[in-house]
């Protein structure tokens, strides 16, 4: 099992910034990809940003130039720096980690989500 602990959400005014963190622990041999997905009420969960073990990133078009994803492999941690936040960024942000266990099985894990609310 893999446990994910998310932090950093909150309420911010439009134009402000927040930094999300997600720490993975448990039966992890190594972590492959890490990412952040978001889900607003009434909407489907969508990818915000993703980063591979090698550092390759991809972003949703709506966040390009404003969000930056990074990771610390030694700490099994992924970050999402969110700048120039807009009201439409309001959502629950969920961490996703794809890891390989010591049994060489691939595990896909999700965090419970941290709420980001941007006021206009």
Q: Which tens digit of pLDDT belongs to each residue from 51-105?
A: 999 999 999 999 999 999 999 999 999 999 999 999 999 999 999 999 999 999 9
Instruction: At 9, list the tokens.
Output: 């959400």
Degrees to nearest 5, angle at CA 83 with 95 and 67: 45
Tell me the pLDDT tens digit for each residue of 54-65.
999 999 999 999
Residue 117: its pLDDT value, please?
98
Q: Residue 116 in 3-state DSSP? A: strand
Sequence-distant (6+) residues with CB within 8 A of 73 are 31, 53
Residue 43: its pLDDT value, please?
95
């Amino acid at each position: 099992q893999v446990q994910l602990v998310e932090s950093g959400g909150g309420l911010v005014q439009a134009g402000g910034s927040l930094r999300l963190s997600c720490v993975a622990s448990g039966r992890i041999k190594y972590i492959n990809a890490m990412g952040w997905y978001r889900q607003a009420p009434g909407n489907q969960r969508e990818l915000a940003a993703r980063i591979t073990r090698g550092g390759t990133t991809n972003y949703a078009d709506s966040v390009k130039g404003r969000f930056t994803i990074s990771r610390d492999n030694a700490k099994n941690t992924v970050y999402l720096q969110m700048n120039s936040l807009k009201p439409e960024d309001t959502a629950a942000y969920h961490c996703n980690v794809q890891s390989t266990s010591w049994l060489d099985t691939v595990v896909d894990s999700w965090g419970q989500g941290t709420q980001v609310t941007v006021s206009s």
